[in-house]
Amino acid sequence: MTDLTLDAQTVAAANFYDTHYAGAEPVFLEPGTKLFLGSPESPRHCRFCGKIEPEVTFKDEAHALPAAFGNTGLFSYYECDACNHLFGEGIENHLGNWSKPMRTLSRIKGRNGVPTIKKPGRDKGWRVEYADAGFQLKEYEDDPFFEVDEQAKQLRFELHRDTYIPVAALKGLVKIGLTLLPDAETQHFRETYDWIRDTDHSRNFVAEFPVFRTTIPGPMRNDLIMLMLMRRRAGIDTVPYAFFTFAYGNEVLQVFLPSLSQDQCINGKPLTMVPFPNPGSLDAARYGRPRLKVEHLTGREPVKGEKVPAAFGFDSVLHTAPDAEA
């Protein structure tokens, strides 16, 4: 059953965003969708480095969203091959490592299917794997990994994250938003484009940079992505200029797109914002309510061996004989 009653908090958030922001048409990506942003006309211009053909080439198809998120259908005409490689080998890897546990739990199929997460190192150990039949969870008796709570009907565990630099992962997220911007807006983000291209991740950029991450529990589609760009309404000077929301699987990320010129009016003021309202769980009574976490991806040093708490709900436990596999 779908719960259509909106609580007061959601209504207040919807009103806040309606008053302060105007949204562009959301982009919905499903299997089979193929969308191109920009124009293929020559000479092509790269909005990231500012260079024009033939100084830079545009041979590769530039994904607006890393393929790890399951999208293979949104491209842009305004990302040159050099920038494409720079991002692919840098910030998109950090974003990939940071988001991997969430993509596994959301069953997001990248180029090689849903990522498997296993105990780090060479020793045998736990494994969380998804195949078409569902999740396969493996642990060894002498090395327990899953905590079964029969009363709450929950299986709890902690996935580990591959090493990543938080601010580089943040740049990877911001890059998605900077790709979505209409041409007329790019002038306000010149420094932001330079910042995401800068491989020196120690450079200071903006003081406050929260990412609102909402996890919606329960079965959600793993092959639908929604992207939406929001810009501050004219005459408003109390909120950040722009942000975008990125929904995939069970996750909704709200990421600000800092503009040094347009955000001058909020400089030094504390950011007090509620997250953008999300569609909520299909059945809140059964799966629970969405959970918000404010992520501060501002660290400049590599983060190693980070743990990501996770839980699966279940209906019943079936005990099976251990298999012979080592």
Residues near Zn ion (CB under 5 A) are 46, 48-49, 80, 83
In the chain, the amino acid numbered 35 is L
103 vs 197, beta carbon nearer Zn ion? 197
User: What token pair was written down for 143?
Assistant: 């090395």
Q: How far is the CB of 118 from Zn ion (least distance, A)?
A: 37
Q: How far is the CB of 193 from Zn ion (least distance, A)?
A: 9
Q: How far apart are CA 78 and CA 49, in angstroms?
A: 10
Q: How far apart are CA 60 and CA 37, in angstroms?
A: 14
Q: How far apart are CA 47 and CA 78, in angstroms?
A: 6
Give the residue from 178, 149, 115, 143 showing the smallest Cα distance to 308: 115
Sheet arrangement for strand 307-313 = 147-149, 154-160, 307-313
50 vs 210, beta carbon nearer Zn ion? 50
48 vs 164, beta carbon nearer Zn ion? 48
Q: Three-state SS for 160?
A: strand
291 DSSP β-pair partners: 215
80 vs 220, beta carbon nearer Zn ion? 80
Q: How far is the CB of 43 from Zn ion (least distance, A)?
A: 13
HSE at residue 198, side-chain half, CA atoms within 13 A, is 15
179 vs 281, beta carbon nearer Zn ion? 179
Extended beta strands in 141-215, E state: 147-149, 154-160, 211-215
81 vs 208, beta carbon nearer Zn ion? 81
Q: How far is the CB of 56 from Zn ion (least distance, A)?
A: 5
221 contact partners, CB below 8 Å, separation of at least 6? 249
53 vs 143, beta carbon nearer Zn ion? 53
Residues in the chain: 326
Q: DSSP readout, 291-307?
A: EEEEE-TT--SPB-S-E
Q: How far is the CB of 151 from Zn ion (least distance, A)?
A: 55
Q: How far is the CB of 72 from Zn ion (least distance, A)?
A: 21
Q: How far is the CB of 38 from Zn ion (least distance, A)?
A: 13
